[in-house]
Structure 1
Amino acid sequence: MNVQKSKQAGLLALVGCMMVISTACGSNAETTTTASAAPAATKAAESAKPAEKKEVTVSLLTSQAKYKEAYKKIAQKLKDEEKITLDIQIVPDDQYYNLVKTKIATKEVPDILMNNAPSEYVTVDAPKNMVDLSNEPWVSRLANPNLLKADGKIYAMPVESSSFYSAAYYNKKVFKDLGLSEPQTYTEFLTLLETIKTKGNGITPIYMSDKDSWTTQIFMTIGLPVLLGDKAQSTWDKLLTNKMKWADIPEFKTILTNFTDLYTKGYVNKDHMTATFDNAKDALATGKTAMLYNGEWTVGDLLTKNNMASDNIGAFIVPFGDKQVMGTGAFVQGFFIPKDSKNVEAAKRVLNLISQPAYMNMYYAENPGSPGFKDVNGGNVHPAVKALVDKYITTNKYIAQVNDPMAFVSPIFPDLWQMYVDMTVQGGKTPDQVISAWDKKYADYMKQKAQPGF
């Protein structure tokens, strides 16, 4: 699944802590040659003293969606034990991509920034702008090193080993009260939404957070490859070589039309244009909405940020085209170090510390999942998420989201996501208009990048 002007006033600073680089603190050099010199044994003892840790501050830039409360505990541990102050700067999701691009362009970068990997290697031009981390000590402990490589190099330290289980995460109490069950066909999914709309006493059937356009895109990012099925890979290949246009893909118009129908039929919240992902989780936890469509990280946030009862959280795939196939993504949340950072070595030290089980286990205790490191405890995975893995991942009933095979285009995907937002009721664009505008944007970009065939 894959998430790009500097608006410093929009940053929320959370002061945690960060490391200090060890420096030698051996005995001072002798200034005389008299017999009063310290005995050799004393000098040896002084040399054996542990190096003193100096205080240092390392900045970390992240978005609201990527930030987890566990990072505050990690930061406190860094400060207490390593004298490192981790200055965590949290940016609203709808500003993050543009802010990152602006900081890289102006070379006013943080010491560490979070982004998806490897899908965002292209977006940030990792070989040019990010530190090569291939030889860092934590690499040997990676659970899935090949996932992170581009041209044989690693530019981000992962949190997960892989991620993104797309599903409708729902409020079980709402479903029980209305006598609802998980749909097996797309028609049943629409019937489910209609039932909630007509009998739910004001409960929103499915909550959309279109202010955060990265959440808007998930319906299409997942729905299109599911509809394409066995034709998916050949479709991506033809798009990348200009042997096909997006307008030549009937499934693309189908998924855009399906998405638009959710709005025209009144199945989404009226304030969707100003609603954020945090608003969506609040609505689900309080029963104001029956479901939202997103990734498995939703569950961790519901439990830790919204205090939603664990046994009240359920999940089911949306059966696009009546297919029992789950869309997924081969990306992870990753820590990058910009080459223009003033604290590259300190940032490397921080990543190595955070990679250790003593730190990562703190994260997974609150956000259970699939760790990026073999020696880290992934915690107790929620039953709803485990059921998705057991039913679809372990049985090979899954397909990659658009963003992975089409990663070359990732720098302009946010423009497509905004087109999706513009297609909703207030936006007023039609699926055909979106497809036409995207085809032009896509072709212009590919020509600019001198992609063969364009």
Structure 2
Amino acid sequence: MSIQVELCRKSQSECRYPSLKTLLLMLGYECKQLQNIFEGKRKMKSIKFQATLCVLIAAVGILSACGSNKPAADIKPAATTETKQEDKKDTAKPVTISVATNAIGEQAKVLQTIADNFTKENPTIKVEFSAPGKDYENIMKVKMASNDLPDVFSTHGWAKIRYGQYLADLKDQAWVGALDDVIKPAVTDDKGKVYVLPMDQDKSGIAYNADVLEKYNIAVPKTYDQMMQAAETIKTKSGGTVAPFHMGGSDNWPVGQYFDYFATPLYASAATNNSAQLLDGTFDWNNWDKFAQMFADLYKKGYLNKDVLTAKYSDDAKALAEGKTAFLFYGAYVIEEAKKVNPQLKAGFMPIPSIVEGDSPTFVGGEKTTWGVSKDSKNIEAAKKFVAFYAKPENAQLVAVSNALPSGIKGAKVDAGDLSKYYEQYKDVRVLPYFDRVFLPNGMWDVMCKNGQDIIAGGITAKQFSENMKKEYTRLRATVTK
């Protein structure tokens, strides 16, 4: 019989401590040497040591047994702080989140680096990072149709209009209070929903090579006509070695940039404009003929790079860096790309010239680099944690710096370097939304890009371009309003 059972067969209240001798005898074969001790067969020194040892052993057993009505076999040691922490660590289940962005080039690399840092700090969260470039929008359309969106994805200017119904509300996130006041209206609604984290704020215009303009004595153009005059001068004086405009047309979206940039000054920014007609569906698409022809003329007159249909976006930045072009229809971020090729590049940044008489130059802007969380994500907490990591001022700053744009998060200071003077110079210039985000139904972006490629290739005329625009505009509007 064990010591604990012998001493505590009765209830806890009846448990009594025995005399020392009784205690020692009850140890029996477990401490036989003590019998010899009481018989005087051991030396006193040994008696003291061994008796003390066995008393301590017995005392532990007695106190343990008398502290509970349960049998000793059922009693488990209390978990220490270390044990609890270890158990928690062992039971943490690894999860995988899918992340997709429309960013390309250096900007995509920055986002990837931050994602890598996140996984180092959160080893139980695996990140499947994807940056498919020009195919991003089409991929996302397929995923929306099947309701199989990535856990985290960029909304490329369409957080509310296109992706709103698929996005989780992030208003409970700690970083919401740090949103910059300028960008907040673009990513929130009047009900308080926060659609995405904006890491920076778009402010796009035209990048130019300052050395090229200086070489040919060209002032920064303020109107479209002045820009075409500059193009003719550059083409003529350079003997065709410098393309006034460079466009990576094989990537598709750079073609769309031209139409998104100049449709606003042509149809929407002047005092008298077609905004109402574009919004209510009564716009006369015959007016698009002129616009389509303006684009076709860039190529016919030799103002575009000859390899426009095979060149890529990366070729645009390289041409700017090497002085082989004067103007690019991108935001200041392309300058950062170009400086990777030529750190000594002297580049400038200007608003989009006006087209209609009496109008003034403008910028286009709104969302730039964002992260939203799918409301149907199976790992929504991990996804939110991932997004919150990018909201840290030091990370938001890295993203904004890569685009040479103001941050979307307060406290993330961005030194735009040489570009800072241009932001200051043009601080009062209007920043208007991208044309397609306001006036065209979802799906028209691809129509502009493809028809732009086709008119350069000689596959369609300006009139056919307009007809295609009207047809798709009408079809897509009907789909939205059903």
TM bin, normalised by shorter chain, reads 0.7 to 0.9
Give the structure, 1 or 2, with the largest relative contact order (CA under 8 Å, sep 6 or more). 1
Aligned residue for 2:25? none
Of 276, 286, 309 in structure 1, the residue corresponding to residue 312 of structure 2 is 276
Matching of residues 397-416 of structure 1 within 5 Å: 397-406=430-439, 409-416=441-448
Matching of residues 33-432 of structure 1 within 5 Å: 34=72, 38=77, 43=80, 52=89, 55-65=94-104, 67-83=107-123, 84-93=125-134, 95-117=135-157, 119-124=158-163, 126-127=164-165, 129-143=166-180, 144-150=183-189, 152=191, 153-160=193-200, 162-167=201-206, 169-201=207-239, 202-228=241-267, 231=270, 235-247=274-286, 250=287, 252-303=288-339, 306-309=340-343, 311-321=345-355, 323-377=359-413, 379-384=414-419, 386-392=420-426, 394-406=427-439, 409-424=441-456, 426-432=457-463
Tell me the distance in 1 between the aligned counterparts of 2:87 and 2:364.
47
For the 8 Å contact 1:165–1:326, the answer to whether it is kept is no
Aligned residue for 1:4? none
| Deviation at residue 231 of structure 1 after TM alignment | 5.0
For the 8 Å contact 1:155–1:336, the answer to whether it is kept is yes
- 2:479 paired with 1:444: no
Q: Match of 1:205, as an amino acid?
A: P
| Deviation at residue 351 of structure 1 after TM alignment | 0.6
Structure 1 224/92 Cα, relative in aligned 2: closer, same or farther at 3 Å?
A: closer
Structure 1 313/123 Cα, relative in aligned 2: closer, same or farther at 3 Å?
A: same
For the 8 Å contact 1:419–1:434, the answer to whether it is kept is yes
For the 8 Å contact 1:423–1:429, the answer to whether it is kept is yes
Cα deviations across residues 206-226 of structure 1 (Å, max 9, x unaligned)?
Answer: 101222332212222222222
Tell me the distance in 2 between the aligned counterparts of 1:151 and 1:274.
45
Which of 1 and 2 has greater Rg? Answer: 2
More helix by share: 2
Q: Match of 1:82, as an amino acid?
A: N
Question: Helix, strand or coil for the counterpart of 1:116?
Answer: coil
Tell me the distance in 1 between the aligned counterparts of 2:87 and 2:111.
28
| Deviation at residue 69 of structure 1 after TM alignment | 2.2
Structure 1 51/390 Cα, relative in aligned 2: closer, same or farther at 3 Å?
A: farther
Structure 1 362/68 Cα, relative in aligned 2: closer, same or farther at 3 Å?
A: same
Tell me the distance in 2 between the aligned counterparts of 1:244 and 1:287.
41
Cα deviations across residues 28-67 of structure 1 (Å, max 9, x unaligned)?
Answer: xxxx87497546xx74575578963665432212235374
Q: Percent identity?
A: 23
Cα deviations across residues 350-404 of structure 1 (Å, max 9, x unaligned)?
Answer: 1112211242233345444211111322x211433x3443343x32444443134
For the 8 Å contact 1:223–1:327, the answer to whether it is kept is no
| Deviation at residue 170 of structure 1 after TM alignment | 1.9
| Deviation at residue 91 of structure 1 after TM alignment | 0.7
Q: Match of 1:133, as an amino acid?
A: L
Question: Helix, strand or coil for the counterpart of 1:449?
Answer: helix
Tell me the distance in 2 between the aligned counterparts of 1:58 and 1:310.
40
Tell me the distance in 2 between the aligned counterparts of 1:318 and 1:357.
31
Question: Helix, strand or coil for the counterpart of 1:380?
Answer: coil
Q: Match of 1:87, as an amino acid?
A: E
Question: Helix, strand or coil for the counterpart of 2:203?
Answer: strand
| Deviation at residue 414 of structure 1 after TM alignment | 1.8
Tell me the distance in 2 between the aligned counterparts of 1:71 and 1:230.
34
RMSD: 3.0
Structure 1 151/403 Cα, relative in aligned 2: closer, same or farther at 3 Å?
A: farther
For the 8 Å contact 1:57–1:85, the answer to whether it is kept is yes
Tell me the distance in 2 between the aligned counterparts of 1:405 and 1:365.
27
Structure 1 240/367 Cα, relative in aligned 2: closer, same or farther at 3 Å?
A: closer
* Alignment gaps of 5+ in structure 1: 1-31
Tell me the distance in 1 between the aligned counterparts of 2:88 and 2:386.
17
For the 8 Å contact 1:329–1:400, the answer to whether it is kept is yes
Tell me the distance in 1 between the aligned counterparts of 2:314 and 2:429.
32
Tell me the distance in 2 between the aligned counterparts of 1:233 and 1:346.
50
Cα deviations across residues 223-274 of structure 1 (Å, max 9, x unaligned)?
Answer: 2222346557962222222343333xx4x44333222211110111121112
| Deviation at residue 302 of structure 1 after TM alignment | 2.5
- TM-score with structure 2 setting the length: 0.74
Tell me the distance in 2 between the aligned counterparts of 1:429 and 1:165.
30
| Deviation at residue 342 of structure 1 after TM alignment | 3.5
Tell me the distance in 2 between the aligned counterparts of 1:432 and 1:63.
32
Question: Helix, strand or coil for the counterpart of 1:423?
Answer: helix
Structure 1 227/382 Cα, relative in aligned 2: closer, same or farther at 3 Å?
A: farther
Structure 1 274/115 Cα, relative in aligned 2: closer, same or farther at 3 Å?
A: farther
| Deviation at residue 450 of structure 1 after TM alignment | 2.8
For the 8 Å contact 1:225–1:327, the answer to whether it is kept is no
Structure 1 187/147 Cα, relative in aligned 2: closer, same or farther at 3 Å?
A: closer
Q: Match of 2:131, as an amino acid?
A: I
Structure 1 211/123 Cα, relative in aligned 2: closer, same or farther at 3 Å?
A: farther
Tell me the distance in 2 between the aligned counterparts of 1:442 and 1:233.
22
